[in-house]
Structure 1
Amino acid sequence: MISPVIKDVILAPGNGSFFYDDQAAIRAGAAQDGFCYLGAPLTAGFTTIRMPSRSLSIGLVLSDDMIVWGDMMNVQYSGAGGREPVFQVDTIEALTKSVVIPRLLSCDVSNFLAACDRVLACHENKRLPLAIEYGVSQALLRAAAQMARTTLAEVICSEYHLPLPDTRVPIYAQSGDSREINVDKMILKSVDVLPHGLINSREKFGPSGERFRDFVKWVVKRTKEIGEPGYHPVLHFDVYGWIGLEIGMQAQKIADFIARVADDVPGYRLHIECPADFGSTEAQLEEYAKIVALLDRRGTEARVVVDEQCNTLGDIQLFAETKAAHLIQIKMPDVGSIADSARAVLVCKENGVGAYIGGSCTETDLSARAAVNIAVATGAEMMLARPGMGVDEGISIVGNEQSRLLSVLDYRRSKNSRRDAGEASA
């Protein structure tokens, strides 16, 4: 029997699939010059407003000489909304070598949750950087799956005592700045949830939100023009706090505006992500709960999605228990360990709140595929197509991983049924 331990660890610097952007500078009106932003950055750690995203891969060499990988990185808008600073490869690599690798060597990977608890324990009374938690936990999950000869999803189901899933999780695609072209791509591919829209500036939101409302109506019009008969996606727009910034930071005004947008597109479920950023988790909890209650009383098809100021598992639990959102984005690199992302979905479900397995365009194909396994195993309400901002790549990576995974799980069920039937007849 092969010992389920790690005998060596290797590191490989790499690239994320988009860029790190200084949200504060963009929100302050930084002008674009082609793909670049002009001016000085405002957020600590940024050397320019837009920086290429980086990653650091960690490979665990197992006793059978198989090597399993996980990828560390941060999200596009690092340092904003209560998030950790922008990713620095050298800093993360040094801490990984000095603290994490010694913990990994000879670690028993057969129990995923126990391995995470041991390897990702606090250092000097502080959590490890969440990027490290994220990448290392991916590798540990793959190690557990390798030892058990199962999928990542089956490891999660086993450790959280969940039934093997048979349900597809709806996929949500994001457009980036190439809104019109990418919306067409999403519609032609019949994406479940679209288009994000990247409404991250006053120019894109428009005076009193009129430009945004026109865009929402255009998306519906375009869906009817080029979509397959019967295609009826969920509409999900991320407005990066601009309803509050432009309309006012009062819950009533924000709810009134969201309701008006819903009235513009009757019959469609409308998700509004980050209608306002109230500056802290506590303030966000209080004000979002008011907005949710106001919309519920109206009976609209609009749902509020929280992102900023709701980062960790503890934050997510607070928002779920307080009903301070209809849907919570579990932004996996910000949550840290993917064990916590799995727990976060279950916390949302226990409290009757929607769980959206999110992430960032800055991620990698490896982290995206791990996310699919978490979403499917836990039965999330939707998951983000990633990495990158090209639409096609993210839909392909996430969609194909889900299709393969569900086919494997269906095969397992069929095989087990045949075996059980044979044993019964014997």
Structure 2
Amino acid sequence: MQIKDVLLAPGNGAFFYDDQAAIRSGATQDGFIYVGEPTTPGFDSIRIPASSLSLGLVLTDDTVVWGDMMSVQYSGAGGRDPLFDTNQISDLMSRVVAPRLLDVDASRFRDSCAKVFEPFEHRRLPLAAEYGVSQALLRAAAHLHRKTMAEIICAEFDLPLPTRRIPIYCQSGDAREINVDKMILKAVDVLPHGLINSRQKFGVNGQTFMDFVKWVATRTREIGRAGYQPVLHFDVYGWIGQEIGLEPQRIADFICRVADTVPDFTLNIECPADFGSTQAQIDNYARIVSILNDRGSGARIVVDERCNTLEDIRLFAEAKAAHLVQIKAPDVGSIADTARAVLLCKGNKVGAYVGGSCTETDFSARASVHISVATQADMMLAKPGMGVDEAFSIVGNEQNRLLVMLNRRRTPNENAGMKSAVS
């Protein structure tokens, strides 16, 4: 067919894999490392450099298109696939996936994914493998049709060419104050994540966290340009539940108190608690959402933990167990399923946030932009890495280029003037 060879190239993710269970149990930081014994299978230390594996498809015209495989930062936590093992994945690629790739019609993206991702030995392929291979297949279809990846998604899912710019969300990592300033100066749409992943960062009764929320709002007013009004989005990694208990009413009360401290801002709270299983998460998050809605609160619940695959996302969306679902692309698997997840959320009137991980690569980040724009998601993550500047540049520039190209597609006979993605 159109694929005549398959290449593999080991690489680096843009951040580190972290043992979330060990960090939650109290592992302390010493510089950039965590001190203590790992507890999650696959980790030989609490923090290890992220790895990736690039898959290249050699097409019949000798063009090579690529996709990147990797795990997310907190692999093996919250129901996710185990830590990425380059050697195991390489063996699977060579024995199982490569022969399948040589036998598909690469011009038909969804059909190709369906054939390549058939179960092996009665089990689904690793989600990291699906993620990377589907990126390469999407790029192959785009090349063969002489279209953008976004246009392939629009055609395959019967969507109109998009026009709306997707808001970009940046995360700070541990360099909170410096990175918040960067985000404000660059007028990022949604900020700052905050990495509230330990008791020290959350504080007794959440006071340290509340002080940080107020500081971000104040800092936005101090150094932001006139009229700048970002959404404030904080990932608390379950620490509201860890600190004040797992009663939905108490969690909702706390979130309302936080929202009351920043009344002029929309407030997103990601992963307020981890209830231990997908069903428990759905039941309790639905109660928290209902309480906040009944109160008319400006706070929104964002689900991450226990909501990984397309089926998980469907369950949360149908139960209205979040205001906004993070569609964490490497955990979803095939990038076609990321597109399906956005459309599923929209069909259930739940917000769709195309996320991912700081451990990703520039190639996976750019592919995610095309999915986000094509499906008109509510927001998308600036990735990879934790440095703000690089991720915001990669995702923002890819979106701007794409929108200019799509605008030209709509007006092919009006090319005399210079076109811009800025509205």
Residue 329 (structure 2) pairs with residue 332 (structure 1): yes
- Contact residue 17 and residue 53 of structure 1 kept, 8 A: yes
Q: What does residue 371 of structure 2 align with?
A: 374
Residue 188 (structure 2) pairs with residue 191 (structure 1): yes
2:317 to 312, 317, 320: 320
Aligned mates of 1:154, 1:416 — CA distance in 2: 19
Q: What SS does structure 1 have at the residue aligned with 2:412?
A: helix
**Superposed CA offset, 1:46-102 (max 9, x none):** 010000000000000001110000000000000000001111100111111111001
Unmatched runs of 5 consecutive residues or more in structure 2: 416-423
Aligned residues: 415
Shift of residue 416 of structure 1?
A: 6.4
1:157-172 matched pairs, under 5 angstroms: 157-172=154-169
Q: What does residue 129 of structure 2 align with?
A: 132
**Superposed CA offset, 1:349-369 (max 9, x none):** 000000000000000000000
Shift of residue 381 of structure 1?
A: 0.2
1:195-234 matched pairs, under 5 angstroms: 195-234=192-231
Q: What SS does structure 1 have at the residue aligned with 2:78?
A: coil
Aligned mates of 1:236, 1:247 — CA distance in 2: 20
Q: What does residue 276 of structure 1 align with?
A: 273
Residue 56 (structure 2) pairs with residue 59 (structure 1): yes
1:42 to 15, 32, 39: 39
**Superposed CA offset, 1:264-298 (max 9, x none):** 00021000000000011010000000000000000
Shift of residue 31 of structure 1?
A: 1.1
Partner amino acid, structure 1, of 2:357: S
Aligned mates of 1:304, 1:124 — CA distance in 2: 38
Q: What does residue 300 of structure 1 align with?
A: 297
Q: What does residue 11 of structure 1 align with?
A: 8
Partner amino acid, structure 2, of 1:325: A
Q: What does residue 423 of structure 1 align with?
A: none
Aligned mates of 1:171, 1:133 — CA distance in 2: 25
Q: What does residue 104 of structure 1 align with?
A: 101
Shift of residue 417 of structure 1?
A: 7.6
- Contact residue 173 and residue 196 of structure 1 kept, 8 A: yes
Unmatched runs of 5 consecutive residues or more in structure 1: 419-426
Q: TM-score, normalised by structure 1?
A: 0.97
Aligned mates of 2:29, 2:372 — CA distance in 1: 36
Partner amino acid, structure 1, of 2:53: L
Q: What SS does structure 2 have at the residue aligned with 1:415?
A: coil
Q: What does residue 355 of structure 2 align with?
A: 358
- Contact residue 267 and residue 301 of structure 1 kept, 8 A: no
Q: TM-score, normalised by structure 2?
A: 0.97
Partner amino acid, structure 2, of 1:73: M
Shift of residue 106 of structure 1?
A: 3.3
- Contact residue 7 and residue 106 of structure 1 kept, 8 A: no
Partner amino acid, structure 2, of 1:22: D
Aligned mates of 1:103, 1:79 — CA distance in 2: 28
Q: What does residue 421 of structure 2 align with?
A: none
Partner amino acid, structure 2, of 1:218: W
1:72 to 63, 69, 72: 69
- Contact residue 364 and residue 387 of structure 1 kept, 8 A: yes
- Contact residue 11 and residue 59 of structure 1 kept, 8 A: yes
Q: What does residue 419 of structure 2 align with?
A: none
Q: What does residue 424 of structure 1 align with?
A: none
Q: What SS does structure 2 have at the residue aligned with 1:401?
A: helix
1:255-274 matched pairs, under 5 angstroms: 255-274=252-271
Aligned mates of 1:417, 1:315 — CA distance in 2: 45
Q: What SS does structure 2 have at the residue aligned with 1:60?
A: strand
